[in-house]
Every structure is written in structure tokens, then in C-alpha cells.
Amino acid sequence: MIVQAPEHHSPGAVADHFSGHAQAYAKFRPRYPAVLFHYLALRSPGTALAWDCGTGNGQAAAGLAERFARVVATDPSEAQIARARPHPRITYRVATTDSGLQTASAQLVTAAQALHWMNVDAFVDEARRVLQPGGLLAVWCYSLCRISPPIDELVEFFYRVSIGAFWPPERRFVDEGYRSIALPLDELDVPPFDLVADMTLPAFLGYVETWSAVQRCLAVRGRDTFDAFARSVGERWGLPHSQRRVVFPLHVRAGELR
């Protein structure tokens, strides 16, 4: 893994809700399915270079590196980049929407669970610059997970009611599956994909605790709200270290930039 020094960027260019718990983010956030990266590689005009913007700890970059010869992965958070997964084909950089790449050098540009935090126009402008003719832009997010109806109703209530007031306004774009974000794409009819993870109760609660709204709630209210949720889920989970299948619907938009 290569990590390059941070660029100087203007404050507020990208919302950062995760630096303060980057270690937990790296540990508990789920990994994207290999079939998604297979699809993107087949749809791209080549597999020499991909840029992953808003990479976090490199959850998407690691998948891209299995299909692309070189991946440049950028994120504005030094704490996130410091905990990124090393890979010989990934170069990590601390940056906002400045890829540092040559013009028309990339076959694929991605933003995974990150577009809603970005200056979309700046990201699209940079993607247009670095993509070669016929190159692919792909963005995606995952919405509220499904486990089982008794647990799902607790998660839904916690998400929308218990911590609803703590969600940053940008979160609505995820709830809308990114469909409400204007992107100048000749859009592909992307097949459905799910992110699937087998989680124990501690792993699932660790994931939920990485939510930006949970972190804001903890800062204001302390642990009472989250701990009450954890107890309720635990009563319906079964043995804490028994695994349950957790399914996150992925919402993918991809195509060539106009």
C-alpha cells in the first residue's frame, strides 16, 4: 500500500462524520460483493486503472483491486486512510475530489456509500476529466438492512424515530437510493445486487454504532438510547455469538458521463 500526503483543501468541501471512529468503521463496516466488481470490470472499457473517491478505509478499493491493475483511492479523512487495508495495487491519498490522475487515464470512477457527502458537481467534473472515452462512472449506496421481521421492526424504529433527528440532511439521498441526485449519465440498466454479511450480535451492533446519527446521538445523549436498542435486539437475536444473515440492498447507478 502507498499512502500519499494530504492535499490542502477548503473546509467543508466534503462532510466528514467518520474520522472520530475510523477504527470501528474499518472493523465493522460490511464488504461489497465480488460480483459487483466483476460487473463493473466487464462494463468498463478496460481494467488498467480505477479511481475510488470517498474510499473510507478502502472497502470498495479492495474489491476493485481484485479486478483492476491499479486503483487510486482517495478520502478527505486522514484517520480513515490511516486504517485502510493495504494492497499492492492500491495507492491511497488524502484528498477531497482531486484524484491526482492524468487526464483520460482511468477506465472506471467509483464512489461507494460516499456520494451524498460530496460536492457532486466537483466530483463529476473530476470524473469527466480523468475518464477515458467510453469510461464508466459508478456510484452506489446501501439502504437499511434486512435480518428477520422481528428484528427489522426494531431497526426501523431505531433508525427513523429513536435517532431520526440526528441524521445529517444528506442521509435522505441514501433513503432515496441516490435516484434524486442529478447525474449527467447515459445510464445502464444495472442488475440488482445485495451486500450480504453473516454477523454475530456484537458485530451487528458494532456496525450500527458506526452510523453517523448514532455517533451524534451518543455525543448529545450518552449511551442510553443506543443501549436500549441493543438490549431489545439482543432479546430477539438468540445467542449473542450465533450468526444471522444480514442483507443490505445495494442501489447502483452507472453509465458514461454525457
Q: Which residues contact 125 (CB under 8 A, 6 or more apart)?
A: 97
Give the distance, in angstroms, between the CA of residue 157 and the centroid of all CA atoms in the same chain: 23
pLDDT in tens, 158-202: 999 999 999 999 999 999 999 999 999 999 999 999 999 999 999
At residue 233 the predicted structure's pLDDT band, cuts being 50, 70 and 90, is very high
pLDDT in tens, 141-154: 998 999 999 999 99
Give the distance, in angstroms, between the CA of residue 88 and the centroid of all CA atoms in the same chain: 21
CA distance 94 to 108: 19
CA distance 70 to 89: 5
pLDDT in tens, 20-39: 556 776 788 889 999 999 99
pLDDT in tens, 96-131: 999 999 999 999 999 999 999 999 999 999 999 999
At residue 224 the predicted structure's pLDDT band, cuts being 50, 70 and 90, is very high
Type of residue found at 203: A
pLDDT in tens, 48-68: 999 999 999 999 999 999 999
Q: Contact 155/143 with Cβ under 8 angstroms?
A: no
Q: Contact 139/110 with Cβ under 8 angstroms?
A: yes
At residue 17 the predicted structure's pLDDT band, cuts being 50, 70 and 90, is very low
Q: Which residues contact 12 (CB under 8 A, 6 or more apart)?
A: none
Predicted pLDDT at 56: 93
Q: What's the Cα-to-Cα distance from 137 to each of 72, 176, 179, 242, rounded to whole Å?
A: 14, 19, 15, 39
Predicted pLDDT at 19: 52
Q: Would the pLDDT of 1 be above 50?
A: no
CATH of 2-257 among 3.40.50.150, 3.40.640.10, 3.90.226.10, 3.30.870.10: 3.40.50.150
CA distance 246 to 200: 10
Q: Would the pLDDT of 14 be above 80?
A: no
